[in-house]
Amino acid sequence: MIIVDKEFGEVIVRKNPLARGVRFSVSTSGRLQMSVPKYTSEFLAKRFLNSNRKNIREKLPIKDPKNQRARDYQKKVLMKKAKEYLPYRLEYLANLHGYKYNKCRLTHANTRWGSCSSNKTISLNIGLMKIPEVLRDYVILHELAHLNHMDHSRAFWSEVGSHDKNYKIHEKKLKYFSPGI
Ligand SMILES: [Zn+2]
């Protein structure tokens, strides 16, 4: 269910059979999201929202409600670009350096550029399509190196360095960008 609120814009209401109370969070689209018990009516959900307004305002980084739809569109465009590029770039760089991974997953989390799981799935953020190619490659190489080192040890960095000798600069430059949309 979606509630349209004057202050927060579209609020996503998720009914959770296991929830006892109400929990507020931010969705990946930057919208306010609330998890409520299964039989919560719209009326009740709005009441919960009203009584928590101040807390939400102070604690949750809700993105500008006026631009919610524009961001949805931007995300769609970015996802399309990412699908046509990132899996192939990952494959190319993996082959070039002799890495074997299981699967490539595209994500749109607000905080991480990429990750590598113990089952060798590499996740890449679609926000990578917004940053310079050299930084994009650095993120991919970084995640590939995690296939051999699941930490940020010396051995890990030396492996990253063997593929990208400017990795320190790239790691720093990456901080000027944010993966979120
Ligand atoms: Zn890492």
CA of 112 to the centre of ligand 1 (A): 10
CA of 49 to the centre of ligand 1 (A): 38
Answer yes or no: pTM beyond 0.75: yes
pLDDT over threshold 80, residue 56? yes
CA of 171 to the centre of ligand 1 (A): 10
CA of 20 to the centre of ligand 1 (A): 37
CA of 60 to the centre of ligand 1 (A): 26
Higher pLDDT, 61 or 146: 146
pLDDT over threshold 90, residue 110? no
Q: 46-69 burial by CB neighbour count: b if 16+ within 10 A, else e?
A: eeebeebeeebeeeeebbebeebe
pLDDT over threshold 90, residue 30? no
User: Residue 19: what pLDDT?
Assistant: 85
Q: What are residue 96's phi and psi, to 5 degrees? A: -55, -40
The residue type found at 104 is: C
Which domains are assigned to the chain?
Answer: 2-63 (no CATH), 75-174 (3.30.2010.10)
Alpha helices in the chain (DSSP H): 42-51, 53-59, 68-97, 133-145, 154-163, 167-174
Average pLDDT over every residue of 114-127: 96
CA of 113 to the centre of ligand 1 (A): 10
User: Residue 173: what pLDDT?
Assistant: 97
CA of 35 to the centre of ligand 1 (A): 31
CA of 145 to the centre of ligand 1 (A): 8
User: Residue 42: what pLDDT?
Assistant: 94
| Residue 40 pLDDT grade (very low, low, confident, very high; cuts 50, 70, 90) | very high
Span of 23-32, 77-86, 90-99 with lowest mean pLDDT: 23-32
| Residue 176 pLDDT grade (very low, low, confident, very high; cuts 50, 70, 90) | very high
Question: What share of the chain has pLDDT > 90, as a percent?
Answer: 83
CA of 130 to the centre of ligand 1 (A): 20
Average pLDDT over every residue of 14-42: 91
User: Residue 171: what pLDDT?
Assistant: 97
User: Residue 28: what pLDDT?
Assistant: 81
